[in-house]
Amino acid sequence: MKKRVLLIIPAFNEEESIIDTVKQVENFYDENFELNYVVINDGSTDSTGKLLTNSGKNVIHLVSNLGIGGAVQTGYKYAKLHSYDIAVQFDGDGQHDINSLPALISPILQEKNNFTIGSRFVPGEKSNFQSTGLRRLGINIISILIKIVSGQRLYDTTSGYRAADKNVIEYFSDSYPVKYPEPESLVLLLKNGFKFREIPVNMFERTGGESSITPVKSIKYMLEVCSAILLLSFKKGKEEL
């Protein structure tokens, strides 16, 4: 029996790209697994919600903006409720390459890992899009800090292209970081003994809209996320979350 895979697509004000992103998912097929999706419309104030509803897409409309952490956790809860075997976070802005999905979930299908991270920076591999120099610097700093607190080196610590097995779906359904979910969740997984690895994937520049991250916000983000990681490092395990 084929494993059931759910793409969780968080979307906030993505009217320029969300329909094209969903169509790419709908047109994708792999004989090794059954693929479905759910868009989490995170309280968008533009036409994102209307476009999804009018085009008959599978969407959950949040009544207010919860942020990326709350939106993705909603997707994990949906995956748990509908008994999916694997849940994959997939951006609504067109940055993630759906053709990288089989490689991303392969270690989970083979039951070698609980969680995989789609990475642009695995040594020896190169994605079409690797972000700005400032962001890469920030990612490297977070990578070094995670290695200090956990002993494991990860290269694409802020990647939002990631896959989880049923055990991680169950865990994240109950407890998921809200403010800085990508790097914080990696620390939690490491501390709770989940097996995961980075998988080389391809990514693109945004196909529509603009990123809300400015240089000033980047500095603030770095200070806060590093503090959050250090605080998490003092937790002993799942029972303390």
Written as six digits, the tokens of 141 are 């700093």
Written as six digits, the tokens of 190 are 């490491």
Within 10 angstroms of residue 135's Cβ, the number of other Cβ atoms is 15
Q: What is the mean pLDDT of residues 14-24?
A: 97
Report pLDDT for 210. Answer: 52
Contact 104, 163 (CB under 8 A): yes
Contact 163, 195 (CB under 8 A): no
Contact 38, 75 (CB under 8 A): yes
**84-139 pLDDT, tens per residue?**
999 999 999 999 999 999 999 999 999 999 999 999 887 666 555 556 556 677 77
In a domain, 241, yes or no: no
Q: Which carries the bigger pLDDT value, residue 123 or residue 70?
A: 70
Report pLDDT for 240. Answer: 41
Least Cα distance to 114 among 187, 2, 189, 200 occurs for 189
Domain that holds residue 16: 3-234
Contact 120, 201 (CB under 8 A): yes
Report pLDDT for 238. Answer: 53
Distances (CA, A) of 104 to 72, 110, 137: 18, 11, 24
**CATH number for the domain harbouring residue 197:** 3.90.550.10
Q: What is the mean pLDDT of residues 172-181?
A: 90
In a domain, 32, yes or no: yes
The least confident of 27-36, 110-119, 138-147, 161-170 is 138-147
In a domain, 240, yes or no: no
In a domain, 126, yes or no: yes
Q: How confident is the model at residue 208 (pLDDT cuts 50, 70, 90)?
A: low
Report pLDDT for 190. Answer: 87
In a domain, 47, yes or no: yes
Report pLDDT for 125. Answer: 62
Spatial distance between the Cα atoms of 60 and 41, rounded to a whole number of angstroms: 6
The chain-wide mean pLDDT, for the chain, equals 87
What is the maximum span of the chain, computed from C-alpha positions, in angstroms?
A: 50
pTM of the model: 0.85
Spatial distance between the Cα atoms of 221 and 204, rounded to a whole number of angstroms: 23
How many domains is the chain built from?
A: 1
